[in-house]
Chains A and B, each alone.
Chain A
């Protein structure tokens, strides 16, 4: 059984994004603005994501904080998304956009792989992504770092919301990009060993966590090599909560009770009906 859109029962789902609610949202926003309120903003991840190419493959790193303006909405969200067994993708920008875009890519890549009978290539994922994002002219706010190892070797691409891409040996994106890139610019060398590379990516993300307000919590790493993938969720927790200094509990009786009133609520049965449900 498939879920069909209720507006046109019987019509097959067309696939891709659905903009049915855009008009409703515009009207709602107008109504809210009249009363002096503002509509809720799309949640941006306020992120630090990074990737680098080392001797045997690619390492992707990300922080795990998702923010809603100035409030942390998720302390441990996953920003490294699966695309294919040998290709992973970090997402920054609007959380929902990054999530859905990468899921779509994952499906497309699997279909393409089945059609061609070949394992997927990183350049192919990049091309599909940038063509889709360009088509939406930047309205899909996802900035992505795609990394993977395929028959042509380890590769790293960045894709921006408007659809441009760059192929580089090391990359950072998100609000913490400036902090993280400084670590890479200082210490990156081509053909690093695995442990050195992992430490470098961890340090770059940590720089973002400490120096950028929109990034925080843990460091997630994803090591992709020809031999396989290690998805290291919670590889490091650089900014742990310190124990509370004082005791904030109060003994019962600290606040004096001046008076007490009990009002029982009586509930009457107004209507009773029985519906017969067919159970298969």
Chain B
């Protein structure tokens, strides 16, 4: 079945005023790439997105369910929902059905109470807030890069560069992450989406 874990790199970074989220675009069934331009950055609400890794079917189903619940909650509240609420809904589902699911999700967005926030809900259903979070099996190749290059107080542009470079490095080394880099910036103003095509990705080695 279409599976993303052995072939995904996802990432999200908080900055003052919002978040930057990024993902690669490869979905594989075994060794065959079922979709080379997948969009793994899924809108959950106007200013809340999630990055998905793991089983495509599981994460799509969970995201649809959370989108519905959050939409309903937002109408009842009569105001935009908090990112923490969205993260909690993901956590509830991922923890309750942890035996049946294969899903690693990063929830990120902007709300007026706490600004830009990134919450990670890895396989197993734990939920925690982090200023930077990486996920998917490509993430293992960039922990060193992320840990050494992240600084607090980076601007929106610096975060975009940082995310694009980190994802490129992971896609270079993780044979099964690849395709294009999809980026999304969420802030008070709204959502700004970008695509960086293969030939425009930052390059690191001479080869």
Q: Which residues of A contact B (CB under 8 A)?
A: 130-131, 133-134, 137-138, 158, 160-166, 168, 177-178
In the complex, chain B residues 139-160 whose Cβ is within 8 Å of any chain A Cβ: none
Complex: chain A residue closest to B2, CB-CB: A164
Q: Interface readout for B1-41 with A: 1 if CB under 8 Å, 0 if not?
A: 11000000000000000000000000101001011011000
Inter-subunit contact B57/A168 (CB<8 Å) = no
Inter-subunit contact A166/B57 (CB<8 Å) = no
A-B pairs with beta carbons under 8 Å apart, 12 shown = A137-B100, A138-B1, A160-B1, A160-B56, A162-B55, A163-B61, A164-B56, A164-B60, A165-B60, A166-B27, A168-B35, A177-B32
Residues from chain A with a CB closer than 8 A to the CB of B61 are: 130-131, 134, 163
Residues from chain A with a CB closer than 8 A to the CB of B34 are: 158, 160, 166
Complex: chain A residue closest to B31, CB-CB: A178
Residues from chain A with a CB closer than 8 A to the CB of B38 are: 166
Please name 19 further chain A to chain B contacts, defined as beta carbons within 8 Å, in addition to the given A137-B100, A160-B1, A164-B27, sorted by A numbering.
A130-B57, A130-B61, A133-B57, A134-B57, A138-B1, A160-B2, A160-B56, A160-B57, A162-B1, A162-B2, A162-B58, A163-B60, A164-B1, A164-B56, A164-B57, A164-B60, A166-B34, A168-B35, A177-B32
Complex: chain B residue closest to A135, CB-CB: B61
Secondary structure at the B interface, as helix, strand, loop or mixed, is mixed
Question: Could you tell me the distance in whole angstroms from the C-beta of A80 to the nearest C-beta in chain B?
Answer: 21
Q: Which residues of B contact A (CB under 8 A)?
A: 1-2, 27, 29, 32, 34-35, 37-38, 55-58, 60-61, 100
The one of A160, A163, A165, A178 that contacts B32, using a Cβ cutoff of 8 Å: A178
Residues from chain B with a CB closer than 8 A to the CB of A138 are: 1, 57
Inter-subunit contact B35/A162 (CB<8 Å) = no
Question: Could you tell me the distance in whole angstroms from the C-beta of B119 to the nearest C-beta in chain A?
Answer: 23
* Alpha-carbon separation in the docked complex, A257 to B55 (Å): 69
Residues from chain B with a CB closer than 8 A to the CB of A166 are: 2, 27, 34-35, 38
Residues from chain B with a CB closer than 8 A to the CB of A178 are: 32
Question: Could you tell me the distance in whole angstroms from the C-beta of B2 to the nearest C-beta in chain A?
Answer: 5
Complex: chain A residue closest to B56, CB-CB: A164
Question: Could you tell me the distance in whole angstroms from the C-beta of A166 to the nearest C-beta in chain B?
Answer: 4
Residues from chain A with a CB closer than 8 A to the CB of B2 are: 160, 162, 164, 166
Which 5 A-B residue pairs are closest in the complex by CB-CB distance? A164-B56, A162-B57, A164-B57, A162-B1, A163-B57
Inter-subunit contact B1/A161 (CB<8 Å) = yes
Residues from chain B with a CB closer than 8 A to the CB of A134 are: 57, 61
Complex: chain B residue closest to A134, CB-CB: B61
* Alpha-carbon separation in the docked complex, A261 to B181 (Å): 83
* Alpha-carbon separation in the docked complex, A133 to B60 (Å): 12
Question: Could you tell me the distance in whole angstroms from the C-beta of A164 to the nearest C-beta in chain B?
Answer: 4
